A = this chain, B = another copy of it.
Amino acid sequence: MKLLKERIREDAKIVSQEVVKVDSFINHQIDVDFLEQLAEEFYRRFKDKKITKILTIEASGIAIAILAAQYFKVPVVFAKKTVSRNLDKETYRSKVYSFTKQKEYDIQVSARYLNPEDHILILDDFLANGKAALGLVDIVEQSGAQISGLGFVIEKGFQEGGKALRKMGFQIESLAIIKEIKGQEIIFEEKVE
């Protein structure tokens, strides 16, 4: 998506050859107008899939999930990373290793909010090694619901997540795929759009 690539080129901060920060408009400060346009693009790509629910993971997936849900007219469910005494006892759980935070944690979703009739669209801000997305896939599969696709704002094409998920046969839509970070330049995969 051209608009997104331009914005990344303009506003992302290159931290290292593996890390770009987009916290000025996507995942700390949020440019809501801009994200609305990304949400609309997800709708364009998945609108024929009869989505009944959008699943994401706290915290930085929530914004894009909410905005996309406005187009799909469905509820959002976000997986929780921490144990809360307010969570139901019956949950679907999966283990996720976070490279950013360098620890493993459980993610969970109340069993009440995923049903075998559901057609789930999984959305998140980033796809890198894919651990969080695979955790969400695992949770949806436990519930018996169908995974209709996965969407990511930014995919790091040089990491393993995209390959692993595509191998599983899912429709994966990443609005910008970073092929390489070369010095101070971000090189995107050029896909026909």
Residue ranges of A at the interface with B (Cβ–Cβ < 8 Å): 15, 19, 21, 23-24, 28-33, 36, 58-59, 62-63, 66-67, 69-70, 73-78, 80, 82-88, 100-102, 109-110, 112-113
Contact = CB atoms under 8 A, between A and B. Distances in A.
A36 B69 CA distance: 11
A7 to B, nearest CB: 14
A30 B112 contact: no
Contacts of A86: 15, 19, 21, 23, 100
Given A59-B58, A62-B62, A73-B33, A80 B28 contact: yes
A113 B29 contact: yes
A50 to B, nearest CB: 18
Contact of A66 (B67, B78, B100): B67
B66 A28 contact: no
A32 B113 CA distance: 14
Contacts of A75: 29-32
Given A29-B76, A58-B58, A66-B66, 20 more contacts: A24-B112, A28-B80, A28-B109, A28-B113, A29-B77, A30-B69, A30-B76, A31-B75, A32-B66, A32-B70, A36-B70, A58-B59, A59-B59, A59-B62, A62-B63, A62-B66, A63-B66, A63-B76, A82-B101, A85-B100
A65 B66 CA distance: 11
